[in-house]
Structure 1
Amino acid sequence: MKNDALYAALIAFFLNIAMSPFVIPLLQKFKFGQNVRSDGPNSHLKKSGTPTMGGVIILGSMVLTSLLFSINNKELHTILFVTIGFGLIGFLDDYIKIVKRRSLGLTARQKIIAQLVVTGIFAYALKVYLGLDTSIILPFSEGRELDLGYLFWPFLVIAVLGVVNAVNLTDGLDGLASGVTVLVATYFAAIAWAMHSNVLPIAAAAVGSLLGFLLFNSYPAKVFMGDTGSLALGGFVIATAFVMKMPLFILIVGIIYVIENISVILQVAYFKKTKKRLFKMAPIHHHFELSGWPETKVVTVFSIVTAIMCLIGLVAL
């Protein structure tokens, strides 16, 4: 199994860098370019037209690689379903944005219904297909588990929707979501390796795919992942965490996702109450941009924070 991890990472990496030179020109040819929000930072206007929907490359390389290791691997099947399910929702969202030439795709109602459907099937898979109970591992407790009982199911819904959309919010700078998530995926791959978990091949495939994608997505980005990629990665992260019974560890290793999400919630709540902005712009990576930080510095600092928290996450298990 440990050799499988190396093979999965390498295969996904080379698949990604092999697909990208073909897919990116196709996205340009069909004018699948990014529509930059008019209320975003002015520095981002120059990114308008950069090919988006690059998440199909991430998904393609992850799926193809995972299928090589999918025989009798129910954990991999479950995580792959959630990853593809949320990726498809993101694909529809991106496609509508491009066809209608607007910065918003699916309506909020359509998104939440689709996400709840995927989450519901995921909950069923955890209970029936994998046969997992309703307990989760507590951080810093030497592996002690807490049985949530019936509270597990509302907790799962909140956690899945929260993480998936938090990763989506994180995807706002060149290489930010992919850079942070490759570290989170590496963390889960390391834990899966130590535990001899069946999660290992798909976690390793995610690492390899994201490393390949970063060659084209880091500043200045030649392609954006779009909601296709960010929602798929959010699905991968939270599905992996639940299959390994480690959803609370997202609060540690996924601290950037948490901060990005909270910054938006605080901004909206504060503005409704005072008609003033708490941050210069939310999500918070834009606040740092408007405070004078170069885009590359924001990405670097957020990645360093994630790396440190992943090390803390190793100690917390």
Structure 2
Amino acid sequence: MLEQVIFLTIFMGFLITVLISPIFIPFLRRLKFGQSIREEGPKSHQKKSGTPTMGGVMILLSIIVTTFVMTGKFAEPTVKTYLLLLVTFGFGLLGFLDDFIKVVMKRNLGLTSRQKLIGQIIVSAIFYFIFKQNEFSTEVSIPLTDISFDLGWFYFLFVTFWLVGFSNAVNLTDGLDGLVSGTSAIAFGAFAVLAWSLSQFEIAIFSVSVVGAVLGFLVFNAHPAKVFMGDTGSLALGGAIATIAILLKLEILLIIIGFVFVMETLSVILQVISFKTTGKRIFRMSPLHHHYELVGWSEWRVVVTFWSVGLLCAILGIYIEVWL
């Protein structure tokens, strides 16, 4: 039964994305919703200019439909189901606005940092209000130990930091064809295993819905990409995976399972600190995936290497939680 539910959910999410993509991608192209490439980026990326973006709309549609259908059939929708969809849609909407400003209004930076942060905080606050109203635990546990902290009202600050931080981390990682699609499929797959082991079936179904959706998107997003997910997809996926970790009370474990996203973010932070304090750069370019491109790695080699690191970290995360 378990294997059937997982297979059917992944297959449905995959099928929806694969079926709507050949319709949606030409539609985006006709609307001239093409990606603008930063001039300071790797020169090899200039040929990607004009590739349709905002493909995250397809991912969101697939996730929402698959989650509702499969949860209704195999599990009872709960507050956790709606919280997952709330954050995914909320962050996805912010990403959509950002993409829309970039491609339609031709303002390459999209929403300002302040506008985006305010929107993310608002979504996080709504999430926390519902979370608190349902008296969910505000404890944070440290993996491999018996240590846990009840943060009380400070948990709001933690939740906001986690949601905003990981949504932006996934967004920063979205710079190469198929990179986020693959690493997301791996990370959400790991949390699906953990959710099922904890009997959190509605979270498990949501997680594998995401796996199916991003794998279907990967068919069109693998190198050479025919479509990009844009901030619509990356912000939504980052918010979703942080929400899963919070609801499963595996917040800290997300650092391990989502290590690729953490590593990419740290590379940006370290680069900025180093340049501002010493005038020197640690990496040839940040985020980290661009550094490896500039030292001569092919785009596909970088992507596969990061997928492999993500897979090892996902296995480690499952091992820590389930077997240790």
- Alignment partner for residue 229 of structure 2, among 214, 225, 239? 225
What residue number does 2:257 align with?
253
- Alignment partner for residue 294 of structure 1, among 294, 298, 301? 298
* Paired residues of 1:27 and 1:52 also in contact (CA < 8 A): yes
C-alpha displacement of 1:145:
4.2
* Paired residues of 2:84 and 2:243 also in contact (CA < 8 A): yes
* Paired residues of 1:35 and 1:102 also in contact (CA < 8 A): no
* Paired residues of 1:238 and 1:247 also in contact (CA < 8 A): yes
- Secondary structure of 1:264's counterpart equals helix
- Letter of the 1:146 partner, please give it: F
What residue number does 1:103 align with?
108
* Pairs aligned (count): 315
Cα deviation code 1:34-55 (max 9, x no counterpart): 0001111100000000000000
Please provide the CA RMSD for this pair. 1.4
What residue number does 2:195 align with?
192
What residue number does 2:210 align with?
206
- Letter of the 1:62 partner, please give it: I
Q: Which sections of structure 2, spanning at least 5 residues, go unmatched? A: none
What residue number does 1:48 align with?
49
Q: Report the Cα distance in structure 1 between the residues aligned to 2:25 and 2:225, rounded to whole angstroms.
A: 11
* Paired residues of 1:141 and 1:316 also in contact (CA < 8 A): no
- Letter of the 2:77 partner, please give it: N
- TM-score when normalising by structure 2: 0.94
The equivalences for 1:1-317 within 5 A come to 2=2, 3-68=4-69, 69=71, 71-129=76-134, 131-141=135-145, 145-197=148-200, 198-317=202-321
* Paired residues of 1:13 and 1:211 also in contact (CA < 8 A): yes
- Letter of the 1:161 partner, please give it: V
- Secondary structure of 2:171's counterpart equals helix
Identity of aligned residues (%): 45
C-alpha displacement of 1:126:
1.5
Larger displacement relative to structure 2 (176-185 or 270-279): 270-279
- Letter of the 2:78 partner, please give it: N
Q: Report the Cα distance in structure 1 between the residues aligned to 2:9 and 2:51, rounded to whole angstroms.
A: 30
- Secondary structure of 1:136's counterpart equals strand
C-alpha displacement of 1:9:
1.4
* Paired residues of 1:140 and 1:315 also in contact (CA < 8 A): no
C-alpha displacement of 1:124:
1.2
Q: Report the Cα distance in structure 2 between the residues aligned to 1:146 and 1:187, rounded to whole angstroms.
A: 25
* Paired residues of 1:9 and 1:204 also in contact (CA < 8 A): yes
- Letter of the 1:116 partner, please give it: I
* Paired residues of 2:125 and 2:156 also in contact (CA < 8 A): no
Larger displacement relative to structure 2 (27-36 or 196-205): 196-205
Q: Report the Cα distance in structure 1 between the residues aligned to 2:77 and 2:32, rounded to whole angstroms.
A: 41
Larger displacement relative to structure 2 (252-261 or 145-154): 145-154
C-alpha displacement of 1:158:
1.4
Q: Report the Cα distance in structure 2 between the residues aligned to 1:100 and 1:271, rounded to whole angstroms.
A: 32
- Secondary structure of 2:252's counterpart equals helix
Cα deviation code 1:148-191 (max 9, x no counterpart): 33332222121111111000000000000111111000001111
Q: Report the Cα distance in structure 2 between the residues aligned to 1:90 and 1:280, rounded to whole angstroms.
A: 28
Q: Report the Cα distance in structure 1 between the residues aligned to 2:185 and 2:77, rounded to whole angstroms.
A: 26
- Letter of the 1:182 partner, please give it: A
- Letter of the 1:175 partner, please give it: G
Q: Report the Cα distance in structure 2 between the residues aligned to 1:141 and 1:305, rounded to whole angstroms.
A: 24
* Paired residues of 1:87 and 1:227 also in contact (CA < 8 A): yes
C-alpha displacement of 1:15:
0.4
- Secondary structure of 1:199's counterpart equals helix
Cα deviation code 1:65-85 (max 9, x no counterpart): 112125532211111100000
Q: Report the Cα distance in structure 2 between the residues aligned to 1:215 and 1:263, rounded to whole angstroms.
A: 29
